[in-house]
Amino acid sequence: MGQRSALEANRQYHAAMSSPPPSEFVHVHVPGTRPLTLLLLHGTGGNEHDLIPLGRILAPEASLLSPRGKVLENGMPRYFRRLAEGVFDLEDLRVRTHELAEFVAQARELYGFDPRRLVAVGFSNGANTAASLLLLEPGLLRAAVLFRAVMPIEPEPPPALDGVAVFVSAGRRDPFAPDERVERLATVLTEAGAEVTLRWDEGGHELAPDSVTAAKEWLARWRERTAPAR
């Protein structure tokens, strides 16, 4: 093998070792010690590292799967496009939701996690994306923790979410998540059969420590209630 061929083979080897799954999401996977996986979905301008500390707080022994959003808005990663502040590109949202679900299925095969113990944790744009996964890809998630989410899309037909638990953390002073859109999300999820806990606080769009504590306690109760019998 000549020098050029050897260099090309070396380049291809390292490219393969660092390439994401076929759906091309740059992501981080952190193995855990318990059969629970958190799908971490960041907010606008975040990346695959942003919510790793949050995941460790919520469930220290869980595996963490954190993909970076593929849509760029003024250079800031997101999971789907929007037409204006609070106005979502619904067609793009549908396409990106199904694409993310495909990534999760591929990651499940790659990392070998239990799909029955998969919980989405999202903030802002990531929380809206997790809500869209619940509505458009029922059966993918067993639970979700949504920080500062709104109703992203009206599903047609309505999903069947029996056995799914959802924690929604909302702020009364959140300028990006009007009360009526938060309430609509909780209503639609409940009507679909999900067990919804909607927790209001007096904050804005920030990720408040007391909201994180409440989510951690909720997740611990869900884990205990749904733990496989030994």
Kindly report, residue by residue over 182-219, the tens digit of the pLDDT: 999 999 999 999 999 999 999 999 999 999 999 999 99
Q: Which domains does the chain have, with CATH numbers?
A: 27-226 (3.40.50.1820)
pLDDT of residue 17: 34
pLDDT of residue 12: 37
pLDDT over 80 at 80, yes or no: yes
pLDDT over 50 at 57, yes or no: yes
pLDDT of residue 180: 97
pLDDT over 60 at 5, yes or no: no
CB 96 within 8 A of CB 119: no
pLDDT of residue 161: 98
Query: φ and ψ at 221, to 5 degrees?
Result: -65, -40
pLDDT of residue 227: 82
Q: How would residue 19 be classed by pLDDT, with cut points 50, 70 and 90?
A: very low
Q: How would residue 14 be classed by pLDDT, with cut points 50, 70 and 90?
A: very low
Q: What percent of the chain has pLDDT over 90?
A: 86
Distance CA 172, CA 148 (A): 10
pLDDT over 60 at 3, yes or no: no
Residue 177: which of 214, 159, 151, 213 has the closest Cα?
Answer: 151
pLDDT over 70 at 230, yes or no: no
Q: How many CB atoms lie within 10 A of CB 173?
A: 11
pLDDT over 60 at 6, yes or no: no
Q: How would residue 10 be classed by pLDDT, with cut points 50, 70 and 90?
A: very low
Average pLDDT value for the chain: 90
51-75 average pLDDT score = 97
Among residues 27, 63, 132, 174, which one is catalytic? 174
Kindly report, residue by residue over 143-193, the tens digit of the pLDDT: 999 999 999 999 999 999 999 999 999 999 999 999 999 999 999 999 999
Distance CA 29, CA 65 (A): 5
H/E segment holding residue 58 = helix 52-58
pLDDT of residue 147: 98
Among residues 42, 50, 66, 124, which one is catalytic? 124
H/E segment holding residue 72 = strand 71-73
Catalytic residue list contains 124: yes
Catalytic residue list contains 179: no
Distance CA 21, CA 70 (A): 13
Query: φ and ψ at 115, to 5 degrees?
Result: -65, -20
